[in-house]
A and B are shown apart, each in its own frame.
Chain A
Amino acid sequence: MESLKLNILGMARYRGREGQLSFILHRLAGLGTLLFLAVHILDTSTVYFFPSLYEHAIDIYRSTPFMLGEIALVFAVIYHGVNGARIALFDLFIPDRWNVETQRKSAYWSLGIAIVLWLPAAYMMGRSMLVHNFGL
């Protein structure tokens, strides 16, 4: 616990700028996606183990808070993928190009690409939520 507190304080104090912020966002997006994935494996498994429970689980996902969560989750999956591709491409193919300047620029690029990909997805999911949950 103490080391966790120290780390969170350190993260707030350490001025690592774009590289550090993309590192934190990458981890949060990954951990959030993993949390949902673990739940999602279990809810989907009910189709075999407890089929009568499946509709209940889906009903929860259809509620407004969960649909808002779904829109956030899709951003997490897109950002984690784009930023992860950035890390993998540099690490595996052009490791000698890792420097502060390329890291800074590519961090902005991955955030920008993720937002551009997410906006139409958020629009479609938001519209679906308004149509189904608010009778639009």
Chain B
Amino acid sequence: MATNTNQVQLNQAAAPEGFESWAWKWMRYSGLLLIPLAWGHVLIQDILVGVHAIDLDYVALRWASLGWRVYDFLLLAFAFAHGVNGLRQVLNDYIRSDTTRKRVTWLLFILWLVLSLIGAAAIVGGVRAP
């Protein structure tokens, strides 16, 4: 049998547990969960229903069922945290100064918190009459 010259010897030493290690795992596990959550959302809203059929009444009807509110809440929580952490990881590849990294991390954390709270408030509060 010919040996595979491309075989890479992986260093299997355990990485130290820490924030980055958790973030690494978070991206993979939340990503796997987001496949049914985000794809389901896209399939229903973008492909089957379509933006021309979506209005305030449609949202109100959908959010009349608690199940869809829970679904949207999970999607908001997992997708946005996955996305903002992804942006943090991309930016960390380009930022060399530790101070800038810390500042950017805090800025992203605040952005994540504010938008998540706004979105969560809307899901809990529901559709109001215009």
Interface residue count for B (Cβ, 8 Å)? Answer: 52
- Asked whether, in the complex, the Cβ of A47 is within 8 Å of the Cβ of B87, the reply is no
Q: How far is the CB of B10 from chain A (nearest CB, A)?
A: 6
Interface of B is mostly: helix
A133 to B59, CA, bound (A): 22
Proximity string of chain B (96-130) to chain A, C-beta cutoff 8 Å, 1 when within and 0 when not: 10000000000000010001101101100111111
Partner of B42, one of A38, A41, A48, A77: A77
The answer to whether the Cβ of A45 comes within 8 Å of any Cβ in the partner chain is yes
Total interface residues on A, CB under 8 Å, equals 49
Can you list 19 pairs linking A and B with CB atoms under 8 Å apart? A3-B95, A37-B80, A41-B115, A42-B118, A48-B126, A49-B121, A51-B56, A52-B130, A54-B56, A54-B59, A55-B130, A77-B38, A77-B42, A81-B38, A84-B35, A91-B28, A99-B6, A124-B48, A125-B50
Q: Give the B-binding residues of A (Cβ under 8 A).
A: 3-4, 7, 27, 30-31, 33-34, 37-38, 41-42, 44-49, 51-52, 54-55, 58, 61-62, 67, 70, 73-74, 77-78, 81, 84-85, 87-88, 91-92, 95-96, 98-101, 121, 124-125, 128, 132
